Amino acid sequence: MHYHTIIVGAGPAGLFAAQALGQHRKSVLVLERNHRAGRKLLISGAGQCNFTHAGPIEEFLDCYHDQAKFVKKALLSFTNKDTMHFFENMGVPYHVFPNNKVFPKSMKSEDVLGALLKACQMGNVQIEYGQTVLQISIYDGVYTIETEEGKRYFSDHVVIATGGKSYAQLGSDGKGYELAASLDHTIIEPRPALTDVRFKNNIYKVISGVSVQDVALSVWREGKKIHENRGDLLFTHKGISGPVIINSSRWMKPGDTLMVNYLHPRTYEEVKREFSEALAHRGKEEVITFLKPLQLPKTLIQLLCEQIGLDEHTPCAQVNKKTREELVNALTRYTFTVDQLGGYHIAMVTAGGVHLKEVNPTTMESRKHKGLYFIGEVLDVDGITGGYNIQAAFSMGYLCAKHLTK
Ligand SMILES: Cc1cc2nc3c(=O)[nH]c(=O)nc-3n(C[C@H](O)[C@H](O)[C@H](O)COP(=O)(O)OP(=O)(O)OC[C@H]3O[C@@H](n4cnc5c(N)ncnc54)[C@H](O)[C@@H]3O)c2cc1C
């Protein structure tokens, strides 16, 4: 059989495009290597699936790093509100948490996947499982798709929705990049993103589980600041994590310096001035008592004091200028050196992928081959945590289908 469109990959991007095409009575086939759809979607949000974010759509644009311009058209063509309506109409009510993360009311990712599959069924979308696409070729405007399992399919259009390469055991193992490269596309080097930072000798193990709210983080390479962010930081038994680290991890490489201001928004200079005046007036008070109003975890303060060789029970009057400056430094300019980033096996998304310059953001069509489309994480698009990645997958799937049904 010859299809109007073949979609490679039954993740959120592929399924969303498929159901939208199905609604327009196009003959659509989805080829999926696994024996079931959406395995990554099922584990997303710890199995609860944070499928979008309820904040204003304009604010979404701050959540895709340098690629916001590319995803803007897709996000505006199918917004977070559209996503919420879609699932509600499909019988999956949602719940918006105070942080604006949106989950199915049941808190079950199966319900989100179930709605996508039901919508595909309603549009007569065919899904063939257990087919790993190995090769895509074009001749005379017709696409031929060959699978590892020895099957061959034909279509007028092909949509590559194969995802990134994190959690490869769930199906997205980077094969999509090879397919794209074989079709003349440039691949921006993939790297793990939305992951943690690890230290070979993790001296923070003793305070693992401790978290600090709203720190300011900057990432430095060869003396240059390359990124800054704010958010909560968590010490773990392997290193450091928490939203501020996870959302900034795409900017980091081993060897980079991370500088943390635990007292943000107060600066080094402000705290230095404050401390020099206050310490002088609190002669007999112990350093640990003096630092209490900072509302930092006590164990962190103890660790920082230990690192600069200051006994936390020292009376303030006995803290000399050098130690005082070291203390201010530790609190406002604390540095870590990145040993390692959590690898693809724990990274939630992959940064890098199909070069955005080679894909039209108003249609998702390849600029190299007519009839070829890329959607979802296979592209060089990655968002922060909070439902932005799945929303981007839906929006790109929708936009691509809209163009294909014109
Ligand atoms: C632990 C974890 C938690 C997450 N939580 C969230 C969250 O709460 N909210 C959020 O927004 N994002 C979350 N994400 C990210 C989100 O799941 C992904 O960004 C999203 O699934 C990407 O969708 P996709 O359709 O582009 O790719 P995928 O979901 O990766 O789907 C790609 C599909 O293509 C198939 N495939 C690949 N290669 C081939 C081939 N050659 N032939 C046939 N089939 C192929 C794969 O088997 C897979 O089914 C999470 C990710 C992880 C790992």
Q: Which of 158, 104, 111, 152 is CA-nearest to residue 131?
A: 152
Is pLDDT of 278 > 80?
Answer: no
- For 288-326, the pLDDT digits (tens) are 988 999 999 999 999 999 999 999 999 888 888 999 999
The CA 9 to ligand 1 mean position distance, Å, reads 9
Q: Which atom of ligand 1 is nearest to the CA of 166?
A: 53
Residue nearest to atom 20 of ligand 1 (CA): 390
User: 153 with 3: CB under 8 angstroms?
Assistant: yes
Q: What is the pTM of this model?
A: 0.94
As to burial, measured by CB atoms within 10 angstroms (0-12 exposed, 13-18 middle, 19+ buried), residue 9 is buried
Q: What's the CA-to-centroid distance between 13 and ligand 1, angstroms? A: 8
Q: Are residues 357 and 314 in the same domain?
A: no
Q: If DSSP codes are grouped into helix, strand and coil, which group holds residue 178?
A: helix
The residue from 319, 342, 365 where one domain ends is 342
CB of 396 sitting under 6 A from ligand 1: no
Judge whether residue 274 has pLDDT over 90.
Answer: no
Q: What pLDDT shows up at residue 152?
A: 98
Same domain for 358 and 322: no
Q: Cα–Cα distance between 96 and 222 in angstroms, integer?
A: 42
Examine the fold and report which residue of 342, 366, 382 is the final residue of a domain before the chain moves on: 342
Q: Domain holding 110: CATH number?
A: 3.50.50.60
From 389, 394, 398, give the residue whose CB has the most ligand 1 atoms within 8 Å, as the site to mutate.
389
Task: Give pLDDT, residue 72.
Answer: 97
For ligand 1, say whether the CB of 162 is within 6 Å of any of its atoms: yes
Boundary residue ending a domain (292, 320, 342)? 342
Alpha carbon distance 54, 101 (integer Å)? 6
User: Domain containing 241: what range?
Assistant: 196-342
| Shared-domain flag, residues 82 and 148 | yes
Is residue 36 left, alpha or beta, with left meaning phi > 0 and alpha meaning psi from -120 to 50?
Answer: beta
- When divided into structural domains, the chain yields a total of 2
200 in the same domain as 187 = no
**Percent of the chain beyond pLDDT 70?**
100
Q: What angle do CA 257, 262, 266 make, to 5 degrees?
A: 110
- Report which residue type is found at 152: R
Give yes or no: residues 367 and 243 share one domain. Answer: no
Assess whether 169 and 253 both reside in one domain: no
Q: Please report the atom of ligand 1 found closest to the CA of residue 391.
A: 11
CB 16 within 8 A of CB 41: no
pLDDT of residue 25: 87
pLDDT in tens, 154-194: 999 999 999 999 999 999 999 999 999 999 999 999 999 99
